[in-house]
Structure formats: C-alpha cells, structure tokens
Structure 1
C-alpha cells in the first residue's frame, strides 16, 4: 500500500490523535464513502476532509496529548 498512508496513521497514533479523526482521515484518504449520517461527528468529518484532500499535517488540533 501507500507509504504516506501508513506513515501518517503511525504519526497520528503516536501523538494520541482522536481515533475518530484517524478513522475519518483513513476513509477520506482512501476515497471511501463517508459512514452513515448518525455516526458522523466533528472529529470524523475533519479527518475525512483532510484525508480526502491529501493533507497529512492537519491533525495537531485533534491530539489528546
């Protein structure tokens, strides 16, 4: 698979980024459809938008550490 994908996920996990953001980012990066409306939240939507745009540095505000 794509090195950027794995490197970004790994960096986010090490920095304690919200799991909803990471999940959204992964789905967006892979151009998967968004999940069902009732399961969407701000972190997921932000991650999805960043991932879909190919942004690999937009996660700092979602870090819990």
Structure 2
C-alpha cells in the first residue's frame, strides 16, 4: 500500500509543475499539437492580413476602372 502512495505523489507534482511553468510558451514551438491553442492569440497579425485581400479586390476594380 505504501508503494502505491509514493507513486501517486510523484506523479501529481510533475503535471502541476508543468502547468504553472507555461506549457503553451515553451512547448509551443516544440509541441505543434499544443501550439494551435496558444498560437491563435499570438497569430493575431494573420487576422488583419485576411482582411487586406478582401479590401484589395475592392480597390483593384476602382483603380482598374479609372
């Protein structure tokens, strides 16, 4: 019974320590599967980039027609 408690104790600290350490920060570049969760907020620039192409087509016809 004692060995079971010893195994349970060391197994809980590791996951608790990794969470507060910032897994989405370090593992982000090392963990591609976890990056999608912490990358979206950092990849905010791509959002405005998508709007550009939408606005460009509107400006293209104006410049081409003129």
TM over 0.5: no
Higher Cα radius of gyration: 2
Structure number with the higher helix fraction is 2
What TM-score do you get using the length of structure 1 for normalisation? 0.25
What TM-score do you get using the length of structure 2 for normalisation? 0.25
